[in-house]
Structure 1
Amino acid sequence: MSAWLNDLGIVSALGTDKAQHLQALYGLETTPLTQGCGLHYGEKEGEQEAEQLDPYMGLVQAIPLTAKQRNNRLIDLALQQLTPTLARMQERYSPARIAVVVGTSTADIYDGERARKHKAQSGSWPEDYHYHQQALDAPAAYIKEKLGLEGIAYSISTACSSSAKALSSAKGLLAAGLADAVICGGADSLCQLTINGFSALASTSSGLCQPFGAERDGINIGEGAALFVMSRERDLGESSCALLGSGASSDAHHMSAPEPSGSGAIAAMRQALAQAKLSPAEIDYINAHGTATPKNDEMEAKAIAELFTDVVPVSSTKHLTGHTLGAAGAIEAGLCWLLIEQQRLGAQVPSSVTPLPWHTGYALDADLAPIQVLQQPIMKIPTICMSNSFAFGGNNASLIIGAVDA
C-alpha cells in the first residue's frame, strides 16, 4: 500500500514556510539559533555572565514568546501552508474518514508554567487558562476541532521519536482502512521544563552543538512543527514522495542513555529497509538523529557503520533547528521531503553549494565508527532518504521517504 506524503507544512528556527527551509539548507552564513530567550533559570538579569549561562535555542521568532497557546500557533503556521491540499482533502473525503496523529512531548506546558506563576502572584488561575492546553492529546484535538473533522485523533509521546512514530502510525491507519487521509506530524514549543530539565541532566551544549564533533558536549533545544497530509492517493497533492518504510524498536536499555552497541537503532533501520524493500546501498542520504551528545553520536555512528559502512552521506540538521524533541522526527523527515521535492518546488540550487546539509567549522570525532559525515559540499539531489529518531527509554524510530515514479 502506498502512503503518499501529499504535502508538507513546516515551521522551525529556519523559517515559517518550505521556501525558507530550503534556502537555509543550501548554506547559512550565520546560525539560526539564538541566545537570550529568557527561559533558562541560569539567567541573571544585569550580570555579565548571563550571556554565558543562557544556552543557544532554536526559537521560532515569528511567534513572540509572550504569545499564549504557543504550540497551537506553531500548528497554525504549518496548517496555513497546507491550505490547498486540505481543501482538496475535505472535498474528497468525509470528516469521519480523516484522521489526525501528532507527536509531541510538551504540548503547551509553557502556558501552564506562566499560569502557575500568575497563581502564585495573584492567588488565582488566569481566566483564559485550562489544563487541557498542556495535555499531550491537545495538539491532535486542536487540529481536529479547527478543521471540523470527525475521524480518529490522537497524539503520540515517546520523547524524541514521537512524531516519527506518528508518521508510521498514520500509515498503519491507512493500511487498516481506518482512514482515507491522515494529517500527521509533530509539534513542540519551548518551555522552561525542557530547557532547564536538559540542563540539569548536563545534556545541553555550552555553545552551538557539534553533531559527531570531537568536542561535542550536548544539544541545543529547539521548537517547531511539521505536518504532512498522507493518503493512499497520489493526486491529492503534487508531491511524488511517499513514506516507503518505517521501523521501530524499544530496547529499554536506560531511561535516558542509548544502548551502546546500537542494537535498537539497527533493528529500527533494518525494519524500515525491509518494509521499503530496499537495500542499504539504495539510500541516498541519512538525516541522523545526531544530537551532539557524546553517547548518542557514538551509538548512532556504530549503528550506521554496521548497516551502511561509510558509503552513504550522513549529517544531522539539529545544528540548524535545535533539537525540537517531540517534533524532531517530523521536522527532519520534512527536511528530507524538501530535499527530494526541491526541483518541483522551484528551488534555485546554487552551483557552489550542496542541497545536502553539511557540518563545517569543527573537527569530527576520529574515534567514532567510520561513516561519511558530510563536511563539504557535494552536488547530489537525493531521491530516497532515511531519517532517524532515537529517544529516551530506547524508543527508536527510522523512516524512509522517497520519490516514486508515476
Structure 2
Amino acid sequence: MEDRYPAEGFEAYLNALESATPTMRAIGITDYCVTASYERVKAAKDAGRLKQCDLLFPNVELRLEIGTVKGHFVNIHLLVSPEDPGHVEELNRFLRHLKFSTADDEYSCTPDDLMKLGKRMDRSITDNAAALRAGVTQFKVSRSGLQAAFRSMEWARDNIIVAVSGNADGTSGVREAADRAVRQEIEKFAQVIFASSPKQRDFWLGLGPAATPQEIQDDYGALKPCLWGCDAHEMSLVGKPAEDRLCWIKGKATFDGLRQACIDPDRACVGPNPPAWSSESQTISHIEILDAPWARTPAIGLNPGLVTIIGARGSGKTALADMIAAGCDAYVEDEERPSFLERAGEHLKNAKVSVHWLSGE
C-alpha cells in the first residue's frame, strides 16, 4: 500500500531487477489485493526483459481481519503458480470470492469494488487510482472466508501457496496479543512462513528447543519453510533485503521447486550466501566426454544437489550415470544387466571421461 517509487520509474525498476546481485532466478511481484503490477512486469518479460529470471509469479498480499497489539493487521500472501496460461484470469476469479462487509454493503476483492470501497470511506476522493489505494487499505478478509474460498475452488488449491508473515505485521503480533488459538490456526493454514531469522527457521523445522518436529506437525499440520524477500517499498531497496538476508531454495527455479520446499522445508534457507549442501571436494561440477565426436554435448554441468537423473526413455539417463561412474573409477560390470558402456563398447573406442569437482580438482 505504501511505496516511494517515482511515478515514471517502471524502466528503472526493471533495470534494478536485472542488475541485482546475486542474480534473481525467481521473482515474486507483490500486489495488494490486485494483479496489476504483476501483469505489467509479466508483459515486460514476455517482451524480452528479465531474461535471467526463470520464474516470475504473482504474490498477492491481503490483510486478515485479525489485529495485532501494535495496531497492524495480519498480512497473508498468495503465491501463485504461473504455469497455467490462464493463471491471471483464474487468480482474479478466486479473488472475487473474497468479501469485505460494511454495515450496509459488501465488497469483493476486485479493482472496481475496491475503488467503490475507497470512495465510500472517503467521499472527497474522485480519482480512481486514489480510490483504489484507499479501498485496498480498508479491505480485509476473514480467515474463515479465505479458507471457504479455497474449499470452493479446486484451481486455487492446486495453484496457490499460502504464506503468512511471522513478524510484527503477522502472527508474531498475534502471539504478543496472547491469542494462541487464533495464531495457531493461521499458521496451520499457511504452507510458508515469511521470516528471516535463524531462530524462526529452526522452530519451523523442529530444530529449536521449543518443539520437536513431531510436535510442530501435530500443532501446525506440517513443518514449514521460512522464505524472505526484499519487500522493497522504494527503488534503492529492490533486490537488497535488509542485512543481506537473501532467500535460497535448493532446486530448479520453478514453481514446482517452491512446492517441493513446502514438502521438504529444509531446502529453503535465508542468508547472505547459499548454504554448502555438501563438501566441494565431494561435489561434481561437470564432466567432459573426450575423444567422442558422437557426443552432442561433451561438457555436461551437474547441479550441486543432484541426486537422481530423470528423462524420457532413450534420452541417455543410463549413459550419463555410467560415464559419471567410469570417471570416478566406480564403474562395475554386470553380466546380467549390461550397462550402456558394455552395449556401446564397440562404438566408444578411445573415448574418455574427465570429472571436474567444485573444489577445482
Q: State TM-score, norm by structure 1.
A: 0.24
Superposition TM-score, scaled by structure 2 size: 0.27
Larger radius of gyration: 2
Structure number with higher relative contact order (C-alpha < 8 Å, ≥ 6 residues apart): 1
